[in-house]
C-alpha cells in the first residue's frame, strides 16, 4: 500500500515573487521560520479543536508576554478576534465606544454590528487615538433605555492611521473607562509594530496598564493566517469558548494556528519582523520627504506612511506599485511596509515617485 504521507504536488507558481507593493502588510508571504514550524507540527495526529499540544504550549508562551492570567483563544482572522472579543465583553443591549477610523467601524463590513449584535458609538479623532475627553463624548446614558449602553471602549494599537499610543495614554483610557464601569478592548492587529516602535514589552501597554481583552495579530507580522483573542482579565468576559464556536472561529486543526503564533512569540521573531517593517517605513518616509509636492499626513511611528499627492500621480504610480487611496477625494494614500520589504523595494518606489512627480 502506498504511504499516504508521500509528498507529491501538481501545484504551480502562479505569481511573480519579485513583484512587491506597498498596499498592505497582508500582501506579504509567510516568514520561513513559520513555514518550518508548520512542517514540524504536521506529523501524526493531534486532538482537534484546541486540545492539542501546540495550543496548550501557546498558553505558556502567552503567559511570558502577558502574565499568568492571560488565556489565548486562537481564531482564524482579525475580524473574528474583534467580534468574539466584543461579544464576550458586552450584553445584548451594550455598545462599544471607538474612534471613527477604527477598523471595527470602517473595515469589517459591519460584522461587529450585524454578526456581533453591537452598537458602535464612534468619535472623530485627528490622529486615530482616543482620549478620556473624546471618550466622554459618547460615555453617557447608562440608565437611558432608549440608548445603547456604553460598556466597552475599543482602541487600536497601533492605530489605523499609523500612530502609536504611549503606555501612559492607554493607562489614562483604562482608568477612565473602568471608572465608568466600562471595559477596555485593544485591537492588536499590529501590536508587534507598536511594541517595536515604543521599544517596550507588549505587557507594558496591555495588562500592566489595565487592558481587559486584546485581539492579538499574527497575519500582518509574518503568519499565514491566525490571530488570537487574549483574555487578560477573566472577570471581563463571559462564555468565550462558546462564542468562538458560535462565531465560526473555532478551528478544527487548531494546532496549525497555534504553532504559527508560538513560532512568532516563543523567541524574538515577532519583534524582528516588526522592527524591520517599521524601519522600512522610516526609510520610505525619509525618501518621500525629499520629494517636492508630497505631504506626509501623520507621524510615521510604525509600518505605515500616509501621504497626500496629486491624484493623477497616484494613478500612474499605482500602475508600477500597488497601493491604496485612503481618501481619494483629498488625494490621500497609504503605503504599508511588511516584514519582507527590502531597502531596494523602498528605494525603487521612491525613485518611481520622483519620476511620476516630475512628469
Give me the pLDDT at residue 1, please.
Answer: 64
Domain shared by 135 and 99, yes or no: yes
Domain shared by 210 and 122, yes or no: yes
| Per-residue model confidence as pLDDT tens digits over 264-300 | 999 999 999 999 999 999 999 999 999 999 999 999 9
Q: Which of left, alpha, beta for 4 (phi over 0: left; psi -120 to 50: alpha)?
A: alpha
The dihedral through the CA atoms of 206, 223, 82, 107 has a sign that is: positive
Residues of the chain with pLDDT under 50: none
Domain shared by 93 and 140, yes or no: yes
- What are all long-range contacts of 279-283, with beta carbons under 8 Å and residues at least 24 apart? 280/337, 280/338, 280/341, 280/342, 280/343, 280/345, 280/346, 281/162, 281/305, 281/335, 281/336, 281/337, 283/343, 283/346
- Residues whose CB falls within 8 Å of the CB of residue 137, separated by 6 or more in sequence, listed in order: 123
Helix axes of 269-289 and 343-358: crossing angle, nearest 10 degrees:
20
Q: What is the pTM of this model?
A: 0.96
Nearest alpha carbon to residue 107 among 29, 175, 189 = 189
Burial 25-54 (b: 16+ CB within 10 A, else e): beebebbebbeebbeebeeeebeeebebeb
> For residue 8, is it within any domain?
no
Strands 119-123 and 94-99: parallel
> For residue 214, is it within any domain?
yes
Domain shared by 157 and 275, yes or no: no
Question: How many structural domains are present in the chain?
Answer: 2
Q: What is the CA radius of gyration of the chain?
A: 21
Domain shared by 241 and 305, yes or no: no
Domain shared by 187 and 226, yes or no: yes
CATH number assigned to the domain comprising residue 166: 3.40.640.10
Domain shared by 187 and 227, yes or no: yes
> For residue 287, is it within any domain?
yes
Residue 100 in 3-state DSSP? coil
Give me the pLDDT at residue 130, please.
Answer: 98
Residue 96 in 3-state DSSP? strand
Domain shared by 221 and 353, yes or no: no
Give the chain's end-to-end CA distance (angstroms, integer): 67
Give me the pLDDT at residue 10, please.
Answer: 82
Domain shared by 143 and 280, yes or no: no
Kindly report the backbone phi and psi dihedral angles of residue 95, in degrees, each rounded to the nearest multiple of 5, phi listed first: -130, 160
| Per-residue model confidence as pLDDT tens digits over 337-351 | 999 999 999 999 999
Residue 277's domain comprises 269-358
> For residue 13, is it within any domain?
no
Give me the pLDDT at residue 2, please.
Answer: 62
Domain shared by 181 and 302, yes or no: no
Sheet holding 304-308, edge to edge: 295-296, 304-308, 332-336, 324-327
Question: What is the maximum alpha-carbon separation in the chain?
Answer: 70
Amino acid at each position: 500500500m502506498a504511504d499516504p504521507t508521500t509528498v507529491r504536488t501538481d501545484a504551480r507558481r502562479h505569481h511573480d515573487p519579485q513583484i512587491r507593493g506597498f498596499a498592505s502588510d497582508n500582501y506579504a508571504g509567510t516568514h520561513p521560520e513559520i513555514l518550518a514550524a508548520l512542517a514540524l507540527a504536521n506529523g501524526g495526529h493531534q486532538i482537534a479543536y484546541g486540545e492539542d499540544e501546540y495550543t496548550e504550549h501557546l498558553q505558556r508562551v502567552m503567559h511570558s508576554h502577558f502574565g499568568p492570567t492571560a488565556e489565548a483563544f486562537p481564531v482564524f482572522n482579525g475580524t473574528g478576534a474583534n467580534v468574539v472579543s466584543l461579544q464576550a465583553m458586552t450584553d445584548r443591549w451594550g455598545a462599544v465606544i471607538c474612534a471613527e477610523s477604527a477598523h471595527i467601524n470602517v473595515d469589517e463590513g459591519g460584522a461587529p454590528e450585524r454578526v456581533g449584535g453591537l452598537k458602535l458609538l464612534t468619535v472623530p479623532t485627528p490622529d486615530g487615538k482616543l482620549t478620556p475627553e473624546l471618550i466622554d463624548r459618547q460615555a453617557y446614558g447608562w440608565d437611558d433605555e432608549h440608548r445603547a449602553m456604553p460598556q466597552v471602549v475599543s482602541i487600536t494599537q497601533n492605530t489605523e492611521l499609523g500612530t502609536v499610543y504611549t503606555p501612559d495614554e492607554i493607562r489614562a483610557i483604562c482608568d477612565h473607562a473602568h471608572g465608568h464601569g466600562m471595559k477596555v478592548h485593544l485591537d492588536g492587529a499590529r501590536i508587534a509594530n507598536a511594541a517595536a516602535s515604543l521599544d517596550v514589552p507588549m505587557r507594558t501597554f496591555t495588562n500592566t496598564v489595565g487592558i481587559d481583552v486584546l485581539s492579538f495579530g499574527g497575519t500582518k507580522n509574518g503568519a499565514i493566517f491566525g490571530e488570537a483573542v487574549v483574555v487578560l482579565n477573566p472577570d471581563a468576559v463571559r462564555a468565550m469558548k462558546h462564542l468562538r464556536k458560535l462565531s465560526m472561529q473555532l478551528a478544527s486543526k487548531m494546532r496549525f494556528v497555534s504553532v504559527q503564533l508560538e513560532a512568532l512569540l516563543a523567541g524574538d521573531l515577532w519583534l524582528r519582523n516588526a522592527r524591520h517593517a517599521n524601519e522600512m517605513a522610516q526609510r520610505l518616509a525619509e525618501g518621500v520627504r525629499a520629494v517636492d509636492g508630497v505631504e506626509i499626513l501623520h507621524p510615521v511611528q510604525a509600518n505605515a506612511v500616509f501621504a497626500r499627492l496629486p491624484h493623477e500621480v497616484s494613478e500612474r504610480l499605482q500602475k508600477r506599485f500597488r497601493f491604496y487611496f485612503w481618501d481619494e477625494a483629498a488625494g490621500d494614500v497609504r503605503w504599508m511596509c511588511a516584514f519582507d520589504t527590502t531597502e531596494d523595494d523602498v528605494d525603487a518606489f521612491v525613485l518611481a515617485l520622483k519620476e511620476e512627480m516630475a512628469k
